[in-house]
Structure 1
Amino acid sequence: MDSAVFTIGLPAALAVIMFGLGLSLTVQDFVRVATVPRAAVISLACQTVVLPLLCLGLVHALGLAPELAVGMMLLAASPGGTTANLYSHVAGGDVALNISLTAVNSVLAIVTLPVVVNLSVAHFMGDDAGLGLQPGKMLQVCALVLLPVALGMLLRRRRPVATEKLRRPVKRASIAVLAGVVAAAMVQGWDSARDHLLLIGSATLLLCVMSLAVGYGVPKLLGISRAQSIASAMEIGIHNSALAITVAVTLLDNATIAVPPALYGVLMNVPAACAAYLFARRATRRDPHPATT
């Protein structure tokens, strides 16, 4: 497949997804974090510190090849995906917290993602340390993440009626685009990864399960409410695979690194859906006759 398709197409696809995220955000979503600082700080710490460390241990335990290990670390460093809100709603989580965490995580990723990627490249691919995200590429990450989100937020503020009409078709387009991004990444990286698909698939599933467990378990152990802990679990367990794939293919110019995020984009729906079902079922058992208004 023509590399120009990836160079232009993947950033454009990511822009659609991030624009759709922006349409669902307001400035208040960022401000709201201050009203639940403890829950937000714990969740963000799990996302930016605990999860990359766990992923590092996982890739070493599984003995992944250097490029695939970097792909896993890139995935772990990526912020929450937009579908986290949907799973959180089904599971009975604090969706407002989810939206705020997604907003803040997307901004934090501008700093944390390049740091994790560069350290991972140096650790696993010492001879190819130049592959990392240099200052110019870090600016591109900033543009890929922030500009479409800012445009979506601006449109929502200036044209709220038009935004409401756009949100549903853009959301559908985002889902279709994400599927296309995942498929394109698998096609591009197939030759170098086909002999390791079972191992990579197992690694991505384990990462998703670990992310969900850490996202729920750590806040709950520290006294955070169940609804907020569920929101944290979904935010940390569901990563923005489209961002990880785009960074791998267009900025790092390495299709093999994109394979773990691509497989994750498909497989993560299984543990996420199971977790949402179990959370919802437990809530029903606790309150079989919920109050109606």
Structure 2
Amino acid sequence: MLTQILIPVGLILIMFSIGLGLQVSDFNRILVSPRAVITILVMQMVFLPISAFVISLLLEMPPELCLGLVLIAACPGGITSNMLTRLARGDAALSVGLTVITSFLSVLSIPLVLQLISPFINGQATIITLSFFDVARQILVLTVLPLATGMFLRTKYPNHSARLESPVVMTTSLFFLLLVALTWANQWENIFASLAAVGIAVALLIALNIFSGAAVAKLMRLRDKEQTTMLVEIGIQNSAMAFMIAANILNDMTAAIPSALYSVFMVLTGLIIVGLRRQAAPKQIST
């Protein structure tokens, strides 16, 4: 299928464009806000996949859709979360720092999560077999290496990289939207058949994560900007990465359906968060 050839190319370009906007100094935010970083990382990398798994079991979703829902929850944030955090007047530097951390950790975290849940969803209609090292190797090649290359170019050639960042981001974003549209067209029958179950699951996942994130942020006494960042980070996932892993690494387009729907739901959710937080904090947008 053409989309399965284009998806890895699109993901490499997306991760490269993210790297162009990052610098090694972005890690400094870890030292400035360690409590916020740890709290958000735990929510992103532990709570989100668990909540997705529980929801899929409660709704008795087929194993491929269950795997796809957990996969999108296990993926890191990306350039969309950075942009929405800035628009919502959150801590943009914290969001960027989290993108760097979670993107690099995803090489181990995503295959680990998939490996842990696969035995619990086996025994149903389809037996799912996953190789931890194969998944990790492909994520490394398709996501971390392009990200690191972009960061290297930003550090080595800052002026040229800064000029390239916006057009590259725009081009890759449009390219990914095209891939999603092609997938919807090619997989419409499967998507339509799964729309009710997956739509409910995605909506529940986002709602649960947002409300839980707000409660945890208050409990941990995070600053207002850090609370905003947390809401965006746990609601916006790298759907391009989830899409690619499902379609090309797991070789299962059915498992890609949750990420296709999530990409729509998360943008709507992000815009709602931006609107609410801008009303709650009518100050100059954080840079």
Return the TM-score normalized by structure 2: 0.92
1:170/1:215 Cα in 2 relative to 1: closer, same or farther (>3 Å)? farther
Give the aligned partner of residue 51 of structure 1.
48
Query: Residues 46-99 of structure 1, C-alpha deviation per residue, up to 9 Å, x if partnerless?
Result: 111111121122112222121111110001000012111121112110010000
Gaps of 5+ in 1: none
Q: For residue 129 of structure 1, report the CA deviation from its aligned partner.
A: 4.8
Give the aligned partner of residue 208 of structure 1.
206
CA RMSD between the two structures: 1.8
Stretch moving more, 69-78 or 261-270: 261-270
Give the aligned partner of residue 182 of structure 1.
180
Q: For residue 273 of structure 1, report the CA deviation from its aligned partner.
A: 0.8
Aligned length: 283
Supply the distance in 2 between the matched residues of 1:60 and 1:71 (Cα, whole angstroms).
13
Give the aligned partner of residue 113 of structure 2.
116
Give the aligned partner of residue 140 of structure 2.
142
Q: Is the 8 A contact 2:122 2:128 kept in 1?
A: no
1:33-72 matches, within 5 Å, as 33-72=30-69
1:123/1:193 Cα in 2 relative to 1: closer, same or farther (>3 Å)? farther
Letter of the 2:261 counterpart: L
Q: Is the 8 A contact 2:84 2:274 kept in 1?
A: yes
Stretch moving more, 6-15 or 124-133: 124-133
Query: Residues 141-195 of structure 1, C-alpha deviation per residue, up to 9 Å, x if partnerless?
Result: 1111211101101111111121121011111012102212322333443333321
Give the aligned partner of residue 74 of structure 1.
71
Supply the distance in 2 between the matched residues of 1:220 and 1:202 (Cα, whole angstroms).
27
Give the aligned partner of residue 86 of structure 2.
89
Gaps of 5+ in 2: none
1:57/1:42 Cα in 2 relative to 1: closer, same or farther (>3 Å)? same
1:207/1:130 Cα in 2 relative to 1: closer, same or farther (>3 Å)? closer
Query: Residues 236-261 of structure 1, C-alpha deviation per residue, up to 9 Å, x if partnerless?
Result: 11000000010001000000000000
- Percent identity of paired positions between Structure 1 and Structure 2: 33
Q: Is the 8 A contact 1:209 1:271 kept in 2?
A: no
Q: For residue 130 of structure 1, report the CA deviation from its aligned partner.
A: 5.0
Give the aligned partner of residue 277 of structure 2.
279
Aligned partner (choices 239, 253, 256) of residue 255 of structure 1? 253
Q: For residue 32 of structure 1, report the CA deviation from its aligned partner.
A: 2.4
Stretch moving more, 162-171 or 27-36: 27-36
Supply the distance in 2 between the matched residues of 1:81 and 1:102 (Cα, whole angstroms).
6
1:175/1:189 Cα in 2 relative to 1: closer, same or farther (>3 Å)? same
Supply the distance in 2 between the matched residues of 1:215 and 1:101 (Cα, whole angstroms).
15
Query: Residues 196-243 of structure 1, C-alpha deviation per residue, up to 9 Å, x if partnerless?
Result: 212212221222222233333312211111101111111111000000
1:130/1:101 Cα in 2 relative to 1: closer, same or farther (>3 Å)? same
Supply the distance in 1 between the matched residues of 2:115 and 2:3 (Cα, whole angstroms).
22
